Amino acid sequence: MKKMMIAAVAVVGLMCAGSYSFANEMGKMANEMKGEMKGEMKAATDAMKAKPDAMKGEMKAKTDSMKASKDAMKDDMKAEKDAMKGEMKGAMGH
């Protein structure tokens, strides 16, 4: 009877030690996964933050292009206006 009790206590002791080791490993794995998830979330957040900056650059380029074409049109209109004034002066004899 004593031998059975000692064997039972030994088995229970080993089971407790094994479950503690298992719980410890699970805790380590959970911490690793949290670290990986934090890294992935940071990468996704950084990507989303970079996107508006890129869009701002595109919009600025479009705006600058539109301003340049507007200025070019103004210059063309001024040249035509000056040419017409010269023609009118020539026709009037000045």
Q: What is the dihedral of CA 41, 44, 45, 50, to 10 degrees?
A: 160
Is the whole-model pTM more than 0.75? no
- DSSP secondary-structure letter at 94? -
pLDDT tens, 21-52?
677 788 888 888 888 888 888 888 888 877 77
Residue 71: the pLDDT is 85
User: Which helix (DSSP H) or strand (DSSP E) does residue 21 occupy?
Assistant: helix 2-92
- DSSP secondary-structure letter at 1? -
